[in-house]
A and B are shown apart, each in its own frame.
Chain A
Amino acid sequence: MAHCERASKPLLQCLQKTYTKGLPGLQLQSTRAFQSTALAREEAQTETGSQPFYKAPDPATVSNPRLERKLLRQGVAPIGSRRRRVALQDSLNIPFEQLPYQCFQEARKILVADREEKLRDITSMREKISRLEGLSTEQAGGEQVKKSKLRAMELHLEHLKIQADINDPLVKKKFEDGLGDMSKPIYRFLADRKWREYRRKILVQRITQMKVIPDVIPHCEPTLDTKLYFGRRQIQPGEFVDSKLSTEAPKLNVQMFEAGEKLVTIAVVDPDVPNVETDGFDFKMHYLAVNVPISAVNTKVDLSQLSTESQVVFPWAPPVAQKGSPYHRLAMIIFEQKESKALDFAAVKAKETARENLLARALESRYQLKPIGAHLFRTQWDDSMYEVMKSIGYADAEIELRRAPAERLPYKRRNPANMR
């Protein structure tokens, strides 16, 4: 053991005791220097110390697989990785403010000072914005100038809000524990960054490689993190889904990374319906709902629970793939409605009557929609497909598609004189 550690051990033990036993006044003063909201640990001060750990395991420190399972059965997910939880068990749990490392504390002071500065900037920027808004257009130098100035200032204000919190270790910890409050810009920013690092790349790759992009919609720049669930099973973009599983409408988890609420249109399109007569493929709209509200905090959308009077134009039609047909792509596109205005549901319902060959492109231009999110799953002939077809009354369930016999090149007579 190093000398400094040996020397600091009694101090640490003392600090730990004071922290766990609680000197409420002191703690509040020290821990809230950085954050305005209370810590979860502080809120749960009155823990029952008498109960043994295995009876009420703590999701933050549980490391035994059996206890983890017990927690999961209760519906509580353990926080973070198991390695992290084990490390937390051994840690002295000293809050950052009381850690006896001089360099660390000096660094923290710099961070706190920086945050103070950012907060001052935010207030001054707000004042500037309100001042500019108070000015008339002539004084501000024209309507266009005023508009662009305001826009730039608001963007800068958002940037400042993120910068004020981005270096806060507690914010980072909260975000990594999945406890981030999505109504705050910093957590939305962090979530967006995390999504763009990996999940968005995968999504974009799948929808471009499987040609959803030119086939269903001409262009899409996803800004929503969309997760798709059939029952409790999450479907990764492009995955094959069992036909029995997809008879019920899926649930969505649509995470928006911007403030405010949006009204969206959700469409599920199959661009691979085989058409033997034309030797090509048709489209089919499997689901269409308009005026679905989403926001950063209201993420859950259950397609089967949406209102049939004001939202669902076409209810869920289970995807089917005939025996021998190439796999079907089921592309789910989330369109942003223009200026978040509600579409006239009755008019849409009257206009869109047939599911067959209703193109997403047509919807896009007809209702001035803009694709902001996408997801994709695939369907093919499987063991339960015939039953599914029978249960929904699919007409051509007994039809199998076989490869057409290979064409032969037209016979070309060789010129004997030329051959010699």
Chain B
Amino acid sequence: MFQLRGVLAPFRALERAIAPSTLRVASYSTSILSSRPVLNSAITNPSSSSSTTLTRSNTTRLLPPTTTSLLNNLLTQQQIRHASHASQGTANRHSRDPAGKRLGAKRSAGEYVVPGCIIFKQRGTKWFPGENCGMGRDHTIYSMQSGYVRYYLDPERHPDRKFIGVVFEKDGKLPTPRNAPTRRRLGRVAVRFDPADLPVNQKQTDLVAEVTAEGTTVGDVPAVDAEAGLRFRPGYMYREANWQIGRAAEKAGITALPHRRKNRWLAWRKRTAKAERVAQMKSLKGSKKAAKKAKK
């Protein structure tokens, strides 16, 4: 088979040499089909190679004279644009030739980067974010740790993706072996804090609204311990904080019945009671008016 292909190669070259004019292609392709068995026989019998070239010349000669004349006409009538015309420029050139978008690598391999440093700008994902790198919403690759840039392939992760990563050491290597523990940085500092500031111990502040000529202002008064007793509060009175008042029912253990949507019996009773009340109010209203009218 390989031998056969080797012998065919020169014929292929010959075919290509004959191919260039478009008009010939149609008839030529049919000639290939017809000449295939002949070619094969030629291979089995190397002495008769000249006979195949003969058939080739026969097929070219077979082209009808009318088609060749048509071809000549086409070649002569081709439009020509001289330099003076071209120098005028084209319409809408700027819409077709926009400004460059300054894409490409902003940091090359081995350069030092800090978190947030843009490494590569691209359209689509030519490169993917690897170790310690992130991808922005326009597919920009940026670093998430300080370190040194690496451009690499990771066939275990993806067979044909290219990755950009950041390593911590100057001579670090990527990709890391698949089963090696990941190398991470803590990136924190230890600070002592006051346990009294924890939300459990935090005192509750009180929101106060004040209506003045300019409008309503809402602010909060400094937090105080609820256990300390009544305090002097806005409104010139000693009283509990608003949030304490709000929790009075909870403290007293009063619970409202939970609303049940499916309890249509209760809903009906409430509805009829309301309707009765409204009817009563209406009748009272009417009677008041009537009384007023009567007085007048």
State the A residues within 8 Å of B (CB): 211, 213-216, 218-219, 271, 274-276, 279-281, 323-326, 383, 386, 396-404, 406-410
Extra A-B contacts (8), CB below 8 Å, given A281-B184, A281-B186, A407-B114: A279-B185, A326-B186, A383-B198, A383-B200, A401-B190, A407-B146, A409-B114, A410-B112
B195 at interface by CB-CB < 8 Å: yes
Given contacts A280-B186, A398-B192, A399-B191, contact A406 B180 (CB under 8 A): no
B183 to chain A: closest CB distance in Å? 8
B135 at interface by CB-CB < 8 Å: no
Residues of chain B lying within 8 A (CB to CB) of residue A215: 181-182
Instruction: Give B101-138 as 1s and 0s: 1 = Cβ < 8 Å from A's Cβ atoms.
Output: 00000000000111111000000000000000000000
Does the CB pair A276–B114 fall under 8 Å?
no
Considering only residues 151-188 of chain B, those with a C-beta below 8 Å from chain A are: 178-182, 184-188
Minimal Cβ-Cβ distance residue in A for B114:
A407
Q: Once bound together, how far apart are the Cα atoms of A326 and B115, in whole Å? A: 18
Does the CB pair A406–B184 fall under 8 Å?
no
29 CB < 8 A contacts A-B: A211-B182, A214-B181, A214-B182, A215-B181, A215-B182, A219-B179, A274-B188, A276-B188, A276-B189, A280-B185, A281-B184, A281-B186, A324-B188, A325-B188, A386-B195, A386-B198, A399-B190, A399-B193, A400-B191, A400-B192, A403-B189, A404-B188, A406-B115, A406-B116, A407-B114, A408-B114, A409-B112, A409-B117, A410-B112
B46 at interface by CB-CB < 8 Å: no
Q: Once bound together, how far apart are the Cα atoms of A203 and B195, in whole Å? A: 37
A64 to chain B: closest CB distance in Å? 16
Q: Once bound together, how far apart are the Cα atoms of A410 and B112, in whole Å? A: 9
Report the interface size class on chain B: 20 to 34
The 7 closest A-B CB pairs, nearest first, are: A218-B179, A401-B188, A400-B193, A407-B114, A276-B190, A215-B181, A399-B190
Q: Once bound together, how far apart are the Cα atoms of A396 and B188, in whole Å? A: 15
Residues of chain B lying within 8 A (CB to CB) of residue A398: 192-195
Q: Once bound together, how far apart are the Cα atoms of A274 and B180, in whole Å? A: 19
B199 to chain A: closest CB distance in Å? 7
Residues of chain A lying within 8 A (CB to CB) of residue B114: 406-409
Q: Once bound together, how far apart are the Cα atoms of A275 and B191, in whole Å? A: 13
Does the CB pair B188–A403 fall under 8 Å?
yes
Q: Once bound together, how far apart are the Cα atoms of A410 and B179, in whole Å? A: 35
Minimal Cβ-Cβ distance residue in A for B183:
A280
Residues of chain A lying within 8 A (CB to CB) of residue B188: 274, 276, 324-325, 401-404
B286 to chain A: closest CB distance in Å? 50
Q: Once bound together, how far apart are the Cα atoms of A218 and B180, in whole Å? A: 7
B134 to chain A: closest CB distance in Å? 15
Does the CB pair A404–B190 fall under 8 Å?
no
Does the CB pair A400–B190 fall under 8 Å?
yes
Task: Pick the most buried of B146, B190, B199: most chain A CB atoms within 10 A of its CB.
Answer: B190
Task: Pick the most buried of B112, B181, B189: most chain A CB atoms within 10 A of its CB.
Answer: B181
Residues of chain A lying within 8 A (CB to CB) of residue B198: 383, 386
In-complex Cβ contact of B186 among A216, A274, A396, A397 (8 A): A274
Given contacts A383-B200, A386-B195, A409-B114, contact A404 B180 (CB under 8 A): no
Minimal Cβ-Cβ distance residue in B for A405:
B189
Q: Once bound together, how far apart are the Cα atoms of A281 and B187, in whole Å? A: 10
Residues of chain B lying within 8 A (CB to CB) of residue A214: 178-182
B150 to chain A: closest CB distance in Å? 18
Does the CB pair A275–B190 fall under 8 Å?
no
Given contacts A214-B181, A218-B179, contact A402 B191 (CB under 8 A): yes
